[in-house]
Chains A and B, each alone.
Chain A
């Protein structure tokens, strides 16, 4: 089906957006190539690395394993779509200031997973943070500063 183009309309970051891609394209392709929303990354394209993690209907999911066609009618939120959300802003600042970003490739996926964690558990312990981020691989940092950034953000938001 890859020679067949279709236009999909999906709610992204609070707005209905339309883009034409191959009929069987993934949400990841639709976001990056259709919308030029390149904050979400393509790493393994097999659902393992986590760099494509986005929020769909409030839950972190793999954009590379979601068909764009299956996302019509869903609410997608990417790392670019949190505006002034205090939790996300705090996480982003803690990542940036705390050395939790080196190449940055894993960062957007990490932030989505962390955002969900803090919604479920405002003061997680280290084990919970590591478990929540266990679906996001990082090749640069060794994870410590990422975990610390999430813990410090949680502490700041819910002292």
Chain B
């Protein structure tokens, strides 16, 4: 047994370990943490591996029709889960576009969401579908809505000593949803991305849109979405939604794109993603 790596069998055991050793690092899939360790950016004196905790695994349907995704669910499972349909399909598609098949065998939703990389794929999809994140601490468990989870660059609502245990999704609503990712090459982080869901009857369609990669967390404007209800094919109305999202954006300049480029691309991404959904509906 390693002196460096602890593998608790329960959430309570993991919380006790963190309380005892606050400097310990939580290890989910390792796709980010071990890469940082290899780059010399993280030098942990202890790891608490979460892969021995059964309650953190798997996707299940709840009695009310909603879904519970355990924090240790690998991207591969999420990407192939048939329960993620209609308005929730966006989450499945986002998972399928993370990195590549090998990394998808390792990375987890909890690990990715807790790390809050601005260029990651889940945040926009999870905000689009209004998930709640369950955080466990020694005092008990609490839920945080997706839109309030990311607080600053790489900073989340997780308090020291807390563990993200599950992601709760509302029941799927009839409709279509998709995730469009603008990236330099397949498998790269997004320059910018768009998670979009269309629900409701013809003539009264509702839209939910979240933009990723253009700020510390995803961008969403529910007021602007409500103004678009039933008017999705009005280019002026759609442009207003694009502008509202641009106004919320706080993008960085990085090797993938300039902040200015990200701002320009947001309205185009919104239009292109809506076009994708329209084409899918026609083809169906």
Q: How many A residues face the partner with a CB closer than 8 A?
A: 31
How many Å from the CB of B274 to the closest CB on chain A?
26
- B38 lies within 8 A of chain A by Cβ: yes
- A45 lies within 8 A of chain B by Cβ: yes
- CB pair B27–A70 under 8 Å, yes or no, is yes
- CB pair B5–A70 under 8 Å, yes or no, is yes
Q: Which residues of A contact B49 (CB under 8 A)?
A: 70
Q: Which residues of A contact B47 (CB under 8 A)?
A: 24, 67, 69-70
Dominant secondary structure of chain B at its interface with chain A: loop
Using a Cβ cutoff of 8 Å, how many contacts connect chains A and B? 93
Enumerate A119-134 residues with CB–CB distance to B below 8 Å. Answer: 131-132, 134
Given the known interface contacts A1-B4, A46-B35, the answer about A65 and B30 at a Cβ–Cβ threshold of 8 Å is yes
How many Å from the CB of B32 to the closest CB on chain A?
9
How long is the Cα–Cα vector from A55 to B182 in the complex, in angstroms?
A: 31
Which of B35, B76, B100 sits near A65, CB closer than 8 Å?
Answer: B35
Q: Which residues of A contact B44 (CB under 8 A)?
A: 1, 24
How long is the Cα–Cα vector from A59 to B80 in the complex, in angstroms?
A: 15
Enumerate A40-67 residues with CB–CB distance to B below 8 Å. Answer: 45-48, 50, 53, 59-62, 64-67
Enumerate 18 A-B pairs (CB-CB under 8 Å) in ascending A order. Answer: A23-B2, A23-B3, A24-B37, A26-B34, A45-B38, A45-B39, A47-B34, A60-B105, A62-B102, A65-B35, A67-B27, A67-B30, A67-B47, A69-B2, A72-B1, A132-B101, A135-B100, A135-B102
New contact pairs (14) apart from A113-B101, A135-B103, CB-CB < 8 Å: A4-B3, A6-B2, A46-B38, A50-B102, A60-B102, A60-B105, A64-B35, A65-B30, A65-B106, A66-B30, A66-B34, A67-B30, A69-B4, A72-B1
Chain B positions within 8 Å of A, measured between CB atoms, are: 1-5, 7, 27, 29-31, 34-35, 37-39, 43-45, 47, 49, 51, 76, 99-103, 105-106, 186-187
